[in-house]
Amino acid sequence: MNHYEAAREKYRLAGVDTEAVIEKMMKIPVSLHCWQGDDVKGFDQDGPLTGGIQTTGNYPGKARTPQELMADMEQALSLMPGKKKLNLHASYAVFGPGQEVDRDKLEPKHFEKWVEFAKKHQMGIDFNPTFFSHPKVKDGLTLSSPDEETRKFWIEHGKACIRISEYFAKETGVPCVMNIWTGDGYKDIPADRMGPRLRYKDSIEQILSQPFDKNLVKPCVESKVFGIGVESYTAGSAEFALSFAATHDGVLPLMDNGHYHPTEMVSDKIPALLCFFPEIALHVTRPVRWDSDHVVLYDDETREIAKEIVRNDALDRVYIALDYFDASINRISAWAVGFRSFQKALLSALCTPYAELRRLQEENRMTELMVMQENLKMYPLGEVWEEYCRRCQVAVDSQMFEEIEKYEKDVLSVRK
């Protein structure tokens, strides 16, 4: 009996069919964000990264062109088991000769190269309007700006992104999750907290007035507690985003687990929202003391997020995406480690006998519940993970870094 077969038998005795788990794992899409590969720079402007976010580090080999970014992403994808989606920001439009337009005039044709890329890799595409790093961010504000010309520009950008999202869904045959997030806010205590939020609400409503097929486009509203330069107030607070989604048909709440106070756990919020929303969306990151967007690891909160999705039978109700950007390490490795870490969390969740654990809780057998939960932590999950990687024809953990090093030597190190 090989190592996997022994692990399979041990899990079978606990009531878990690892063959069924592996089969299910291969069908769970996780959306991979393009912006890890170039430190959120994008292709439509040469200025600094602004709007409440920031990257740190200057590791060599950053992608500088659409072609380099796609090549790097292909290398990262080759190291990832399971089903993927592509997550794009509008600032990653690929303009042909004479096609350059501002963000309010973006069209599907500016993303044809990305559709080709997605089809090549059998992926759907998720999308994000880019409300940052642009000259028309006025006084740190976009959709909540008191300047009507500024607000109109960004509303038109949002409408353009609705049209592009529908194009993605039609081309790939996979619904497009379109996420609305802004860093709008104030560095110090504002005199008016409600006014910007009323303008923000009106702006999103105007964006959503753009006709679209709700089966193809899944609009989301994402909150944030604070950002760089907007430490005291954000228009899109958690209460705002959640209330907007709850009162507008077809709009999903999107939770980024870096966008809350340090003691708040998104894992605990998932089952609460699933009581009321048919579908929700996630951006999974790793905040270190603040929204630092560190690479996702196989840590406690990542595992808890996956647990809540799986044990509430919500894999078809939760849209999972990754969102981090570490510029201090090899970017291919960052992509691969983060993706594989969340896959491991999903695998761990699927290898847990929740029916039995739930029964112990409902019968108030809490001592036995604690013992069983602790025992499961020592089960041979690693053997199941390696078998999953082999069946997906990707490197197991012990082989992955060798491939990353080779790509860095052959490709990244020659970029200047």
Residue that has been written with the tokens 């077969």 in this structure: 5
Bridge partners for 286 per DSSP: 294
From 323, 383, 387, 408, the catalytic residue: 323
Catalytic status, residue 222: yes
Q: What is the CA radius of gyration of the chain?
A: 22
Given the residues 39, 156, 279, 293, the one annotated as active site: 293
Confirm if 21 and 315 have CB atoms less than 8 A apart: no
- In the residue annotation, 291 being an active-site residue is answered as yes
Collapse the DSSP code of 21 into the 3-class scheme (helix H, G, I; strand E, B; otherwise coil) and give the result.
Answer: helix
Give 106's contacts (C-beta < 8 A, 6+ positions apart). 90, 93, 157, 160, 161, 164
Cβ atoms of 181 and 222 within 8 Å: the answer is yes
Instruction: Print the domain residue range for 216.
Output: 28-350
Structurally, the chain folds into a number of domains equal to: 1
> Is 363 within a domain?
no
Which residues in the chain come in under a pLDDT of 70? 1
Element (H, E) at 159: helix 148-172
What CATH number corresponds to the domain at position 280?
3.20.20.150
Catalytic residue among 256, 304, 308, 387: 256
Q: Is residue 268 flagged as an active site residue?
A: no
Residue of 41, 62, 89, 283 marked active site:
283
In a domain, 310, yes or no: yes
Domain-located, residue 389: no
CA distance 158 to 206: 9
- Flag whether 406 is in a domain: no
Q: Is 290 a catalytic residue?
A: no
Distances (CA, A) of 387 to 27, 84, 107, 254, 392: 16, 19, 43, 33, 9
- Look up 114 and say whether it is catalytic: no
DSSP category for residue 29: E
Task: Tell me the DSSP string of 269-316.
Answer: HHHHHHTT-S-EEEEE-B-SSSS--BPP-S-HHHHHHHHHHHHTT-TT
Beta-carbon count within 10 A of 286 CB: 19
The DSSP 8-state label assigned to residue 252 in this structure reads: E
Q: Are 235 and 183 in contact (CB under 8 A)?
A: no
Distance CA 322, CA 317 (A): 17
Q: How many CB atoms lie within 10 A of CB 65?
A: 11
Phi, psi of 221 (to 5 degrees): -125, 125
Helices (H), ranges, 173-265: 194-208, 238-247
Distance CA 18, CA 311 (A): 16
Strand partners, 255: 282
Catalytic-role residue among 35, 181, 335, 385: 181
Q: Please tell me the predicted confidence (pLDDT) of residue 1.
A: 57
pLDDT digits (tens, 9 = 90+) for 383-394: 999 999 999 999
Q: Taking a C-beta distance cutoff of 8 angstroms, is the pair 321, 305 a contact? A: no
Query: Which has the closest alpha carbon to 323: 194, 217, 177, 216?
Result: 177
Name the catalytic one among 224, 269, 294, 344: 224
pLDDT (tens digit per residue) in 17-49: 999 999 999 999 999 999 999 999 999 888 778
Residues 6+ apart with CB under 8 A from 267: 257, 301, 304, 305, 307, 308
Point out which residues pair with 284 in neighbouring strands. Answer: 322
Are the C-beta atoms of residues 222 and 179 closer than 8 Å to each other?
A: yes
The question of whether 89 is a catalytic residue gets the answer no
* 393 within a domain of the structure (yes/no): no
Does any domain span residue 301?
A: yes
Q: How far apart, in Å, are the Cα atoms of 81 and each of 349, 385, 393?
A: 17, 10, 8
- Give the whole-angstrom CA distance, residue 365 versus residue 380: 25
Alpha carbon distance 347, 315 (integer Å)? 12
Verify whether residue 181 is a known catalytic residue.
Answer: yes
Q: Where are the alpha helices (DSSP H) in 187-237?
A: 194-208
User: Per the residue annotation, which of 222, 279, 383, 387 is the catalytic one?
Assistant: 222
- Judge whether 224 counts as a catalytic residue: yes
What tokens does 35 get? Answer: 């912006």
Does 62 map to a domain? yes
DSSP secondary-structure letter at 80?
Answer: -
Residue tagged active-site, from 291, 304, 308, 387: 291
User: Is residue 415, in this structure, part of any structural domain at all?
Assistant: no
pLDDT reported for residue 416:
73
Nearest Cα to 70, choosing from 92, 55, 40?
Answer: 92
